A and B are shown apart, each in its own frame.
Chain A
Amino acid sequence: DQQVKQNSPSLSVQEGRISILNCDYTNSMFDYFLWYKKYPAEGPTFLISISSIKDKNEDGRFTVFLNKSAKHLSLHIVPSQPGDSAVYFCAASRSSGTYKYIFGTGTRLKVLA
Chain B
Amino acid sequence: DGGITQSPKYLFRKEGQNVTLSCEQNLNHDAMYWYRQDPGQGLRLIYYSQIVNDFQKGDIAEGYSVSREKKESFPLTVTSAQKNPTAFYLCASSATATGNTIYFGEGSWLTVV
Is there contact, CB below 8 Å, between A43 and B102? Answer: no
The interface stretch among B14-22, B38-46, B70-78, B79-87 is: B38-46
Q: Which residue of A lies closest to B43 (CB)?
A: A103
Is there contact, CB below 8 Å, between A95 and B98? Answer: yes
Please classify how large the interface on chain A is, using the bins under 10, 10 to 19, 20 to 34, 35 or more: 20 to 34
What's the nearest-Cβ distance from chain B to residue A11, in Å?
A: 15
Which residues does chain A contribute within 8 Å of B6, judged by CB atoms?
Answer: 43
Given contacts A41-B88, A104-B42, A106-B42, contact A97 B107 (CB under 8 A): no
Which residues does chain A contribute within 8 Å of B52, judged by CB atoms?
Answer: none
Interface string of A27-68 (1 = CB under 8 A from B): 000011010100001111110010100000000000000000
- How many residues of B are counted as interface, with CB atoms below 8 angstroms from the partner's CB atoms? 27
Query: Which of A32, A36, A44 has most chain B Cβ within 10 Å?
Result: A44
Which residues does chain B contribute within 8 Å of A44, judged by CB atoms?
Answer: 43, 90, 104
Bound-complex Cα distance A41 to B87 (A): 11
Is there contact, CB below 8 Å, between A100 and B101? Answer: no
Bound-complex Cα distance A102 to B102 (A): 11
Q: Which residue of B lies closest to A32 (CB)?
A: B99
Is there contact, CB below 8 Å, between B98 and A93? Answer: yes
Bound-complex Cα distance A105 to B42 (A): 4
Query: Which of B41, B45, B102 has most chain A Cβ within 10 Å?
Result: B102
What's the nearest-Cβ distance from chain B to residue A91, in Å?
A: 7
Which residues does chain B contribute within 8 Å of A99, judged by CB atoms?
Answer: 97-98
Bound-complex Cα distance A30 to B79 (A): 33
Interface residues, chain B, with chain A CB atoms under 8 Å away: 4, 6, 33, 35, 41-45, 48, 50, 58, 88, 90, 92, 94, 97-99, 101-107, 109
Interface residues, chain A, with chain B CB atoms under 8 Å away: 6, 31-32, 34, 36, 41-46, 49, 51, 89, 91, 93-106
